[in-house]
Amino acid sequence: MGPGAGARRRQERCVPGRRVYGTTRSGPAYVAASLAFTNHWMSTDRFAAFGDHLTASFNAQSVGGRIEGGYRFATPIGGVAPYAALQAQNFRTPTYSEADLTGGGFGLTYNGRTATDTRSELGARFDHVALVDPTAVLILRGRLAWAHDWITDPTLAAVFQALPGASFIVNGAAPVKDSALASAGAELRLANGVTLLGKFDGEFAGRSTTYAGTGTARVTW
């Protein structure tokens, strides 16, 4: 078992994200933009060779932005809005060192790291509105798009504290560069102010699949 091996547990807390969003419309054309910032309080708890217990804590920051433009065409069965978008994400971790609680000599110091991911999207959004009955409106939404990611080198340099000059590189898993995006959702608006929403989002590529579902109930008065 190598010096850097062993059980590792990481904990993370995030400050509620600060997000600014705006959109403008001119007839069926629209432009939307958003900017977000999050601070992460992170800690690690690791056991290396011979039971050496190592911990660390540090703060990390992430900043992201997105701009999207599209044009909605009305059709007899609903709306079709071709769109293009560009977004960027920056995640920074500082230089930090592990605390060697048992004095085993396998503590590491990690170099600071700034990773970025820039994504372009090209696709279309779809919507359809149906009157279920005089007291309910159903809105169906969907999206199909192609995404391409430009990702920085996902490596991390680590140095042994007890052996200056003895370092190694940790290679992270990079996301795939091209993927298909698909979304489907439904929103039911009732006359009494109750709104029910459900949504599915998926990203599909040759070596990975990511999907998520959300449900929301909202009451307005």
Q: Count of alpha carbons within 13 Å of 215, Cβ hemisphere only?
A: 0
- Write down the number of H helices and E strands in the chain: 0, 16
* pLDDT for residue 175: 73
3-state secondary structure of 104: coil
Q: Render pLDDT for 150-169 as a digit per residue (tens, 0 to 9).
A: 987 777 778 887 777 777 77
Q: Render pLDDT for 96-152 as a digit per residue (tens, 0 to 9).
A: 999 999 988 899 998 888 889 999 999 999 999 999 988 999 999 999 999 999 987
DSSP 49-90: GGG-EEEEEEEEEEEEEEEEEEEPEEETTEEEEEEEEEEEEE
* pLDDT for residue 160: 82
* pLDDT for residue 11: 59
Whether pLDDT at 12 is above 80: no
Q: How confident is the model at residue 4 (pLDDT cuts 50, 70, 90)?
A: very low
Q: Render pLDDT for 34-62 as a digit per residue (tens, 0 to 9).
A: 999 999 999 999 998 888 999 999 999 99
State the Cα–Cα distance between residues 5 and 106, nearest whole angstrom. Answer: 10
Q: What is the CA radius of gyration of the chain?
A: 23
Q: How confident is the model at residue 17 (pLDDT cuts 50, 70, 90)?
A: low
Cβ proximity of 55 and 47 under 8 Å: no
Give the residues across from 218 on adjacent strands.
Answer: 195
* pLDDT for residue 3: 43
With b meaning 16 or more CB within 10 Å and e meaning fewer, what string describes 59-77? Answer: ebebebebebebebeeeee
